[in-house]
């Protein structure tokens, strides 16, 4: 199969060309204009590596915490519409048995989804601060503990790829060290900690930050806080780029400080993503969605209704980034975080043919997952 005459988004440039796909891999990139027969014509459109969402709870009415194959599979199919070819469903701080069921159902769905690739699990909680819980239910928060993690994950611990921890909590540093041995990425987030707490977590092995600015101590010139720790280290930082969770000026400043290679755009979406305003749920709590903003009754932000193609559009439109740079934040950067950058995240020969075709406004036209045309 050949995708011809598109504007191919490579790592550091955009070139006119065609891509040949065979057995789920990109086998040849032809730069310039070619007249292939029986090819998919991408004339006037961008050909991009597929988007990778490492932090998504739910979409279009389906939530990974439902604890069923159908919910995860329907999420995978919905994500295709927005250019996402791989994802990590994110659990919530809820009753332990409910988290266990979610971990089990997500694990059993790996390799079986009909849409986007299911890469594993993002465990957002229960090892968070009760003072920075956000929309998560504080009564289910647990002290960081390897035994508790093993109880939750059981035989599926290898499928947990990303785990959020508040580093100031008792037992957190010990657990971060254990996670490093298990090859699970520790993400600092939902934390009331200070700069020193962040540095302790970082030195213990934390590599990532859960939705920077949200649910953490901010930056002050005499107390840099968790945000200051992120700025002063080489961890990657998630960014919810919807113009609601983080002001665009703050997002631009973060990219200037961290560099484009250390930013990962996420949706952090709840089940209203892709649907209309109304009353929904997240983590067992009612969420009121109005004008696309998802909030608890008390006004606390409760996830988002963002999709990654919209986040990418916002990066280009509001942050004034070149498209090829903005695409890194939804493709090669998350691939590097998950140690998949030897096969995913870029348009390159011998890489997986996870490909998205879109127009100038990032409206999705076609999506290919491992060479299979899904839409």
pLDDT tens for 217-249 read 999 999 999 999 999 999 999 999 999 999 999
268 is catalytic: yes
The DSSP call for residue 173 is H
Position 362 confidence tier, pLDDT thresholds 50, 70, 90: very high
How far the first Cα of the chain sits from its last, in Å, is: 15
Q: Average pLDDT for residues 304-311, to the nearest whole number? A: 98
- Is the same domain home to 201 and 110? yes
Q: Is 215 annotated as a binding residue?
A: yes
Count of structural domains within the chain: 2
Question: How far is the C-alpha of 67 from the C-alpha of 101, rounded, in Å?
Answer: 5
Question: How far is the C-alpha of 365 from the C-alpha of 3, rounded, in Å?
Answer: 13
pLDDT for 37: 86
Q: Average pLDDT for residues 4-13, to the nearest whole number? A: 96
- Is the same domain home to 252 and 176? yes
What residues contact 196, with CB distance under 8 A and at least 6 apart? Answer: none
Q: Which domain holds residue 245?
A: 51-344
Q: Is 303 annotated as a binding residue?
A: yes
What residues contact 254, with CB distance under 8 A and at least 6 apart? Answer: 212, 213, 231, 237, 239, 246, 263
Residue 155: CB atoms within 10 Å: 10
- Is the same domain home to 168 and 252? yes
Q: Is 247 annotated as a binding residue?
A: no
Question: How far is the C-alpha of 60 from the C-alpha of 367, rounded, in Å?
Answer: 18
Q: Average pLDDT for residues 125-140, to the nearest whole number? A: 96
Q: Is 222 annotated as a binding residue?
A: yes
Decide if 79 is inside a domain: yes
- Is the same domain home to 42 and 57? no
Task: Please state, for a pLDDT cut of 90, what percent of the chain lies above it.
Answer: 97
Residue tagged active-site, from 53, 63, 242, 268? 268
Q: Is 250 annotated as a binding residue?
A: no
Decide if 349 is inside a domain: no
The DSSP call for residue 136 is S
Q: What are phi and psi of 185, to 5 degrees?
A: -75, 120
Tokens in use for 188?
A: 């600092």
Q: What are phi and psi of 225, to 5 degrees?
A: 65, -170
Pairing of the two strands 208-209 and 46-49:
unpaired
Decide if 351 is inside a domain: no
Q: Is 58 annotated as a binding residue?
A: no
Q: Is 201 annotated as a binding residue?
A: no
Decide if 196 is inside a domain: yes
- Is the same domain home to 135 and 38? no
Check pLDDT > 90 for residue 323.
yes
């Amino acid at each position: 199969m050949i995708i011809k005459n598109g504007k191919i988004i490579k790592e550091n440039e955009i070139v006119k060309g065609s891509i040949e796909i065979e057995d789920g891999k990109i086998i040849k990139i032809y730069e310039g204009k070619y007249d292939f027969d029986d090819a998919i014509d991408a004339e006037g459109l961008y050909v991009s590596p597929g988007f990778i969402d490492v932090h998504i709870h739910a979409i279009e009415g389906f939530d990974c915490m439902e604890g069923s194959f159908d919910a995860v599979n329907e999420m995978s199919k919905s994500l295709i519409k927005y250019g996402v070819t791989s994802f990590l469903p994110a659990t919530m701080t809820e009753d332990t048995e409910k988290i266990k069921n979610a971990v089990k159902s997500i694990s059993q769905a790996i390799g079986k989804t009909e849409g986007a690739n299911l890469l594993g699990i993002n465990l957002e909680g229960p090892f968070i601060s009760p003072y920075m819980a956000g929309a998560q239910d504080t009564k289910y928060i647990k002290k960081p503990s390897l035994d508790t993690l093993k109880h939750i994950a059981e035989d599926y611990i290898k499928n947990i790829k990303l785990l959020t921890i508040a580093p100031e909590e008792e037992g957190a540093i010990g657990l971060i060290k254990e996670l490093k041995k298990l090859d699970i990425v520790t993400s600092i987030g939902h934390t009331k900690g200070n700069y020193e707490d962040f540095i302790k977590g970082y030195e213990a092995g934390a590599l990532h930050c859960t939705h920077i600015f949200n649910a953490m101590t901010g930056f002050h010139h005499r107390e840099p806080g968790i945000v200051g720790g992120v700025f002063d280290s080489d961890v990657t930082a998630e960014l919810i780029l919807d113009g609601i969770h983080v002001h665009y000026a703050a997002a631009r400043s973060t990219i200037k400080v961290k560099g484009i290679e250390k930013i990962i755009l996420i949706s952090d979406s709840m089940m209203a993503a892709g649907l209309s305003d109304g009353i929904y749920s997240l983590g067992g709590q009612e969420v009121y969605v109005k004008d696309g903003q998802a909030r608890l009754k008390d006004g606390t932000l409760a996830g988002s209704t963002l999709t990654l193609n919209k986040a990418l559009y916002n990066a280009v439109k509001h942050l004034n980034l070149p498209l090829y740079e903005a695409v890194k934040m939804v493709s090669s950067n998350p691939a590097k975080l998950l140690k998949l950058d030897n096969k995913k995240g870029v348009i390159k020969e011998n890489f997986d043919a996870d490909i998205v075709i879109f127009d100038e406004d990032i409206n999705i036209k076609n999506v290919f997952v491992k060479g299979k045309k899904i839409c």
